[in-house]
Amino acid sequence: MQTRQFVLVVAMTSKAFVFSTPLQIVFTDQPKHISIGSEVHLTCAVSGGSDPHTNWISATGLLPLNSHITNNGQTLVIMNFKAADNGQYICVTSDGQQFAHHKFTLHACNSGTHPFTSHPFTLSTPTPPTTFFAGTPAPIVPHFSFRPIVVNPINYHYGDDVNITCAVDYYPHPSDTLGWNFMVDVKHVPSNINQVHGMNSVTLMIKCLALENIGEYRCLALMGMTKHFILQPPN
């Protein structure tokens, strides 16, 4: 038993310090023009990292029912594109140590004359100028912070339904906080969990708490900021 524990510690320590190359999204692709009823392919090609996993989310937290993910997670396909599918889609890739993402903005026009835009999703804090002209509004400096993570119920037991909620404060664009995710082992996500996204929060809903749910979670913001949380075994 002692030998097994020693081997596990060595393996985990080695993984923490071995980085091949920086994880990054090296190529993105989307249609320049799209019309209602067409098939849309969004692609994020990933390079580097240590066996990264790529996933997709939308601004509402849920992908359209008429969509599926292919190409080892790197391509999102939306079939029979509808006006309701307009909006933002984000590819998120992580290897457990590094994180990268890219945001696509889709807007279908029947005329097909308006191009679509795609740009990296990054968080920047501008430096306010020192001189203002009369009538010019002062610049708004973004503010971001995590709220304390809430567990309900507080005194849980195995077999209970447990909710873990991560919320943020982000001014002045609350809509930019959409798409939060709880990161666990990306290859072995327990089947009894589900996520419900709010305007500025995400709740991890665990149905019938089991031993496999105990461990470390990370509340992951699209800006690359994280808040760690450890779900302890029941008392």
Are residues 157 and 107 part of one domain? Answer: no
CA distance 195 to 175: 18
105 and 61 belong to one structural domain: yes
The whole-number pLDDT of residue 228 equals: 82
Both 98 and 181 in a single domain?
no
Helical H segments across 129-171, by residue range = none
**110 falls within a domain:** yes
Interior angle at CA 96, CA 91 and CA 97, nearest 5: 105
**Residue 41 in domain:** yes
Q: Give the domain range for residue 158.
A: 143-231
Three-class DSSP category at 145:
strand
Average of pLDDT values for 146-155? 92
From CA 145, how far away is CA 157, in angstroms rounded? 30
Q: How far apart are CA 87 and CA 78, in angstroms?
A: 12
At 188, the pLDDT band (50, 70, 90 cuts) reads low
Does 155 lie in the same domain as 106? Answer: no
103-133 pLDDT, tens digit each: 888 888 654 333 333 333 333 333 333 333 4
Q: Looking at per-residue confidence, does 191 or 66 come out higher? A: 66
* Residue 139: CB atoms within 10 Å: 10
Q: Is residue 1 over pLDDT 70?
A: no
pLDDT band at 181 (very low <50, low <70, confident <90, very high): low
Q: What is the reported pLDDT for 41? A: 93
Is 15 a domain residue? no
Judge whether 193 and 204 are in contact, CB under 8 Å: yes
Tell whether 10 is covered by a domain. Answer: no
Q: Mapping DSSP to helix (H, G, I), strand (E, B) and coil, where does residue 62 land?
A: coil
- Does one domain contain both 163 and 109? no
| Domain annotation covers residue 124 | no
Q: What is the mean pLDDT of residues 13-35?
A: 69
The predicted pLDDT at position 118 comes to 35
Indicate if 27 and 103 belong to the same structural domain: yes
Q: What percentage of the chain has pLDDT greater than the value 90?
A: 16
- Let me know whether 111 and 33 are in one domain: yes
Same structural domain, 177 and 113: no
Q: Check whether residue 115 and residue 172 sit in a common domain.
A: no
- Residue 151 is predicted with a pLDDT of 95
Higher pLDDT residue, 201 or 75? Answer: 75
| Tally of structural domains, the chain | 2
Structure-model confidence comparison of residues 57 and 170, the more confident one: 57
**Range of weakest confidence among 71-75, 184-188, 190-194, 218-222:** 184-188
Domain-ending residue, one of 84, 119, 154 = 119
Is the predicted pLDDT of residue 31 greater than 60, yes or no?
Answer: yes
In terms of domains, do 49 and 92 share one? yes
Report residue 173's pLDDT band, with 50, 70 and 90 as the boundaries.
Answer: low
Query: Tell me, what CATH number does 63's domain have?
Result: 2.60.40.10
